[in-house]
């Protein structure tokens, strides 16, 4: 028979005793595992494997599930925000504080999970908690990683308010980074139509092209910060210029924190290039 620690490690690290009973683990066996230190009793009737992340344990101490940005990151999703404290999905029931509790409790509808909120739930919750931009970059990351299919996408869409469902409709599966997603969303709101992931001969694939002549690149630190990457980008920009393109590059800080500067630069470039035609 598998041990309690083995079972927990295969079903999400945290579980209620009633769930573990279905795997043949009696109360006596669970108590013995707690005494010998192979598992932890998080609260009455809730147990955790040694591998359980601290945020998941914190959520389980409430009898709830970690959700929003921290949960999405555990699912491997790129997020715009990093919650300063754990956000815990508590369903519609009361809240149990733990020692030195600084958690944010969410009383969202639905059958509450324990430990870590499922991906679809966490996406809906981040929309309710953080709004359009955070949700959009997260769902595009989810789609790019093939974490959900058409059915999951439809379920998420149905759970959003009617005036937010366009975000799911706009989302694509080919965004290389959350910065690209955020840039595209913000320009879409301005009415600017973008061609995405465009292959240009001798230049390579660029993030966006506007009006066939303006290249927009969202440069994340991980792909553009080293001297070799910077040199490659300059070579690409030079070749693009030779072909008649203008290139604008924006980094994380500009797209996230200095949007008025980015917006002004893009609008001015579009006006300038259209005047040439």
Query: What is the CATH class of 178-276?
Result: alpha beta
Q: Identify the pLDDT of residue 229.
A: 83
State the DSSP string of 114-164. Answer: SEE--HHHHHHHHHHHH-HHHHHHHHHHHHHTT-S-HHHHHHHHHHS-GGG
Please tell me the distance from the alpha carbon of residue 150 to that of residue 172, in angstroms, as a whole number: 12
Lateral strand order in the sheet of 40-43: 14-16, 46-48, 40-43
Q: What is the pLDDT of residue 95?
A: 64
Write down the domain spans for the chain. Answer: 1-52, 55-173, 178-276
d(CA 113, CA 50): 20
Q: And the tokens for 95?
A: 């809240």
* Main-chain dihedrals φ then ψ at residue 54, nearest 5 degrees: -60, -40
Query: What integer pLDDT is reported at residue 81 of this predicted model?
Result: 87
Q: Write down the pLDDT at residue 178.
A: 93
C-alpha to C-alpha distances, 169 to 10, 139, 162, 196, 234, nearest whole angstrom:
35, 11, 12, 15, 35
**Block means of pLDDT (10 residues each) for the chain, length 277 residues?**
92 94 95 96 94 94 93 97 89 65 85 92 97 98 97 98 98 93 96 95 96 93 68 94 96 95 97 85
- CA distances to 47, 98, 172, 226, 240 from 217, rounded to whole Å, are 47, 46, 17, 16, 12
Sequence-distant (6+) residues with CB within 8 A of 233 are: 217, 219, 224, 249
Name the strand (E) or helix (H) holding 217: strand 214-219
Q: Which of 162, 9, 146 is nearest to 75 (CA)?
A: 146
Q: Which residues lie across from 204 on neighbouring strands?
A: 200
> Residue 102: its pLDDT value, please?
80
- How many Å separate Cα 269 from the centre of its chain? 31
């Amino acid at each position: 028979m598998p041990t309690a620690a083995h079972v927990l490690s295969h079903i999400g690290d945290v579980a209620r005793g009633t769930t573990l009973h279905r795997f043949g683990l009696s109360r006596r066996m669970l108590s013995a595992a707690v005494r010998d230190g192979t598992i932890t009793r998080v609260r009455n009737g809730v147990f955790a494997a040694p591998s359980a992340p601290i945020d998941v344990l914190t959520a389980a101490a409430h009898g709830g599930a970690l959700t929003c940005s921290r949960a999405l990151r555990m699912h491997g999703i790129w997020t715009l925000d990093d919650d300063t404290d754990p956000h815990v999905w508590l369903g519609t029931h009361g809240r149990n504080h733990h020692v030195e509790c600084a958690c944010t409790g969410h009383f969202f509808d639905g059958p509450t999970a324990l430990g870590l909120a499922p991906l679809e739930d966490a996406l809906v919750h981040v929309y309710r908690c953080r709004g359009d931009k955070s949700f959009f970059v997260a769902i595009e990351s989810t789609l790019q990683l093939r974490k959900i299919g058409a059915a999951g996408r439809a379920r998420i869409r149905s759970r959003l308010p009617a005036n937010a469902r366009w975000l799911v409709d706009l989302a694509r599966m080919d965004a290389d980074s959350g910065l690209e997603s955020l840039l595209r969303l913000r320009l879409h709101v301005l009415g600017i139509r973008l061609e995405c992931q465009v292959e240009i001969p001798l230049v390579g694939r660029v993030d966006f092209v506007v009006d066939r002549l303006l290249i927009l690149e969202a440069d994340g630190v991980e792909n553009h910060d080293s001297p070799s990457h910077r040199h490659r980008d300059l070579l690409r920009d030079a070749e693009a210029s030779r072909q008649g393109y203008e290139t604008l590059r924006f980094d994380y800080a500009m797209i996230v924190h200095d949007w008025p500067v980015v917006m002004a630069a893009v609008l001015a470039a579009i006006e300038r290039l259209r005047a040439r035609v």
